[in-house]
Structure formats: C-alpha cells, structure tokens
Amino acid sequence: MKRLSLLMISLVFVTVAQLSAAAATSTLTVAIHEQNGSGESGTATLTQMGADVKVVLTIKGAPATTPQPAHIHDGTCADLKGVAYALSNVVNGSSTTTVKGVTIDKLLDGKYAINVHESAANLGKYVACGEIAKSAM
Ligand SMILES: [Cu+2]
C-alpha cells in the first residue's frame, strides 16, 4: 500500500512537470520547400504577438518584381485545401503579415501549410510550400 501511494505521488509530479512544459509556443520556424522546379525555397518565422501571430516569409530565388501570393492553407503540401489565412504577397523574396486572433499552438494543433503561388495571374502553379509542424526544420 505504501509503495502504491509513492507511485501515485510520483505520477502526480510527472503530470505537473508535463503541464508546465506545455507552455504556449512563442516562436516557430517552418522550412518552405521548393515545388514544381521553381528554384524557390526558404523559411517562415512565426512569432506570437499577444493575440496575433506575425508571419515572416524569407524566400530565396523569388522574382524581384513579380508579387507572389502566399497563404496559410488547410491541409498539407501534398493535399492543399482552402485558404485559412491570407498572407501578404511575397515581393523580392519577403513577406510580413500579422495574422489576427490566432496562436501558434492552434496552428500546430491543426493541419496547416504555408504556400507561395507563382503569381496572381498564375495562382494554380505552386512554387514553394511548408507544413506548420514542430518538426518542420
Ligand atoms: Cu495559397
């Protein structure tokens, strides 16, 4: 009986330790991979800013003058669904957006992918994509 209560106490300690380890994610870097031979790849850096998430895309190989639409989509890069959150166009390889009313943890809990399209005129061609996940880098 004494052994059992010791076991129970240690289980409680382990649970408390795990809860404190599950603090809100404050920053996350997502690798953005080339798609369709575009030569474009880079990173998305997500930073929790109060109730909003700042998303900074840094893409190498992007055209200097053609703005490239970017979004956070539902789904995965292999199976992209609708747009969940719009991002600012990538211009000369960079894009910064404040996505209102979301947390990095909410994004991590779901299935979301950040993708970049070739141009507004050619949205159907995807040039780069990365899934929002802890193991993304
Ligand atoms: Cu998109």
Residue 7 falls inside a structural domain: no
C-alpha of residue 20 to centroid of ligand 1, in Å:
35
pLDDT interval class at 135 (50, 70, 90): low
Sign for the pseudo-dihedral over CA of 126, 35, 83, 102: negative
Confirm whether 1 is domain-assigned: no
Q: Are 11 and 22 in contact (CB under 8 A)?
A: no
Query: In the 8-state DSSP scheme, what is residue 35?
Result: -
- Tell me, what DSSP letter sits at residue 1? -
- Whole-angstrom distance, CA of residue 29 vs CA of residue 1: 48
The pLDDT value recorded for residue 23 is 83
CA of 106 to the centre of ligand 1 (A): 19
Cα-to-centroid distance, 116 and ligand 1 (Å): 6
Q: Ligand 1 centroid vs 71 CA: distance in angstroms?
A: 4
Residue 2 resides in a domain: no
Give percent of the chain above pLDDT 70.
Answer: 82
Domain count, the chain: 1
Measured in angstroms, how far is the CA atom of residue 126 from the centroid of ligand 1?
8
From the CA of 76, how far away is ligand 1's center (Å)? 12
What is the 25 CA–ligand 1 centroid distance (Å)?
A: 24
CATH number of the domain bearing residue 35 = 2.60.40.200
Asked if residues 123 and 84 have their Cβ atoms less than 8 Å apart, the reply is no
- Let me know if residue 65 belongs to a domain: yes
Pick the residue with more confidence: 27 or 137?
27
Gap from CA of 125 to ligand 1 centroid (Å): 10
For residue 128, the CA-to-ligand 1 centroid distance in Å is 10
* pLDDT tens digits, one per residue of 54-104: 999 999 999 999 999 999 999 999 999 999 999 999 999 999 999 999 999
Q: What residues does the ion ligand 1 have nearby, CB within 5 Å? A: 71, 115
Q: Domain containing 116: what range? A: 25-131
Asked, for residue 8, whether it belongs to a domain, the answer is no
With respect to residue 3, please indicate whether it lies within any of the assigned structural domains.
no
* 97 found inside a domain: yes
